[in-house]
Amino acid sequence: MEPPLTFNQAIKGICEFIEVAIHTILYVRHVYPAELFVRRKKYDTPVFQSRHPTLNEYIAGAVKAVADEISVGNVEKLVVVIKDKHDVALERFVFSVQNMIAVESYNKDTSVQDAMTPSALGRYFRAFMIKLCTIEATLGQLSLGDDGSFAIVIELQDDQAPSVARGKDPPPWIPASTPHTTRGASDKAELHMVRTVDTGIISLSLSIQESEAKLAVESKHDGKGKGRAG
C-alpha cells in the first residue's frame, strides 16, 4: 500500500505543479509565440514547456522562493499576472495556498496520517491541467501580439515580509504594484474557479480573475457579449 504524503513531499509536489502550470498558462494565453514552447507529458496529460533558458530560470527561481515561504506557512497566494503593453493587469491566475496542519521540522519527512498519497495527488493535478489547457473556452482569446507580459506575484499571510529577507541574502522578491495583486482587483472583475485539492497537509486552489480593464475592452468590441463557448 502506498504511504501518505510527507510534509516535504506535499510542498515539492505542489510547487512542481505550479511550475508546470505557469509554463502552460503562458502558452494557452499566448503571452509568447507558440514556437517558443515544446509539448511534454506530465500527470498523464499533455502540458507545454518554454524552451527559453532565461524565462525558465525566472519561473524556476520564483517557484523555489515560493516553496521556501510555503514551508514556513507564510504564503497566502501566488499570482501569475498577465499584462498589456501599458502594464495593466488583464488576467490573474491565482494559486491559493493554505497550510492545514503544523509539522515540526524533525517530522517533515514522515508520512502524515490521513494525508493524500502521491499518486492520488498526481491524479488531481491531471484534472487541473486538463481544465487549464481548455481555459480559452471560458476566458476567450487573449490577443496580446508582441506587447503582452507577465509577472509572478506572491501574497503573504498578514502582510508578512518574505522570511529570507530577515537573513543576510537579499530577498528574491520586490514589492509588487498593488494593481497587479488580487487586492488591486475591482468589484467588477470576474472570478472563475478552476479546481481545488486538499492534500490533508496543504490545501491548493486555482482560480482566475478577469480584470475590469479586460472586460471593458471586450464589451467595447462586442456589444452582444463575449462570444465565448459555453
Give a yes or no: residue 212 inside a domain.
yes
- Domain presence at residue 123: yes
CATH number at residue 11: 3.30.900.10
Tell whether 179 is covered by a domain.
no
Mean pLDDT over each residue of the chain, to the nearest integer = 86
The tens digit of pLDDT for each residue in 137-178 reads: 999 988 777 788 999 998 888 766 666 544 445 455 555 555
b/e burial code for range 128-150 (CB count within 10 A of at least 16 → b): bbeebbebeebbbebebeeebeb
Whether 92 is covered by a domain: the verdict is yes
Please give the pLDDT value at position 164.
Answer: 55
Q: What is the pLDDT confidence band of residue 230, given thresholds at 50, 70 and 90?
A: very low
In a domain, 178, yes or no: no
Nearest-angstrom CA–CA distance, 70 and 78: 10
pLDDT of residue 148: 85
- Residue 35 in any domain: the answer is yes
Q: How far is CA 38 from CA 23, 41, 48, 51, in A?
A: 10, 10, 6, 7
Range of the domain at 115: 7-169+184-221
Q: How many domains does the chain have?
A: 1
| Residue 177 included in any domain | no
Confidence of residue 179 (pLDDT cuts 50, 70, 90): low
Tell me what the mean pLDDT of segment 60-78 comes to.
Answer: 92
* Domain annotation covers residue 107: yes
